[in-house]
Amino acid sequence: MVRDAEGDGGGKTLAGAQTLVRGLDVMMAVAANARSLVQLSEVLGLTRSTTHRLATTLVEQRFLNFTPRVGYSLGPKLLELGHLASRQMNLPRIAHDYLLALSLDTGDTVHLGILDGDRALYLDKVQGSRRIEISSRIGERQPLRSTGIGKALLLDRREDELATVYQREGREWPGYRVDFETWMDRMRDYATKGYAYDLEENEDRIRCVAAPIRDASNKIIGSISVSSAAQYMDDARMKAL
């Protein structure tokens, strides 16, 4: 239970953390079947005004629903987050043995990634047997337009969405060497073929081949890539991979 204290001298950081904890407490109380403002206020030991302010913010952010004469209930945002959390936890576990087998078969480094906001999030990495160091790390978030993992995640996107990605990342990473028209032509080709390349675009002298992972409804939920030094990744080998 969180007491209704407006501040304890701990500064903005502590106050923000306290507000966050209070918000989480509100959601947990609703999950435990506290429905009305009065019930929530009593369970949490907060004033009604504070409870109402917290609950209203959670409703605005879709973490809670509010129905007149019924009260509060858990909102759709929690369903979305639960689905994403489940997918992120299960996908690496299911995929890891396949990543390992692919790395052993090719001798190359294999990555697993998902879309995380407007970045590619690396969930797993199996280092290849070649004496090559690829700088990627598990948990790292990388751009979409320059990585094989990222481009594979975009293969079903409309052209206007692709243009938005390119332009947004152009503001954040202005040194990208592939111009917009060339990139769009490549993305159209990748979408037709069902795989994508990184042609030393994200890291010097590193090339990779990537492909999307699809769920039962054919929606892209992740991607996998095989990466190596350019000397081991000429055009013929990339096509074979």
Tens of pLDDT, residue by residue over 54-83, are 999 999 999 999 999 999 999 999 988 877
Quick one: pLDDT at residue 90? 86
Residue 205 to residue 201: CA distance in whole angstroms:
9
Where in the chain do CATH 1.10.10.10 domains reside? Answer: 11-84
Tens of pLDDT, residue by residue over 183-234, are 999 999 999 999 999 999 999 999 999 999 998 889 999 999 999 999 999 9
CATH of 11-84, one of 1.10.3720.10, 1.10.10.10, 1.10.150.80, 1.10.510.10: 1.10.10.10
Mean pLDDT of 109-135: 94
Band of pLDDT at residue 12, cut at 50, 70 and 90: low
Q: Which fold has domain 89-240?
A: Beta-Lactamase (3.30.450)
Residue 53 to residue 31: CA distance in whole angstroms:
18
Residue 64's DSSP bridge partners are: 74
Quick one: pLDDT at residue 79? 87
Q: Is the pLDDT of residue 131 over 50?
A: yes
Where in the chain do CATH 3.30.450.40 domains reside? Answer: 89-240
Please state, rounded to an integer, the average pLDDT across all residues of the chain.
91
Band of pLDDT at residue 10, cut at 50, 70 and 90: low
Residue 196 to residue 153: CA distance in whole angstroms:
9
Q: Is the pLDDT of residue 50 over 90?
A: yes
Tens of pLDDT, residue by residue over 79-121, are 888 777 766 668 898 999 999 999 999 999 999 999 999 999 9
Residue 87 to residue 81: CA distance in whole angstroms:
10
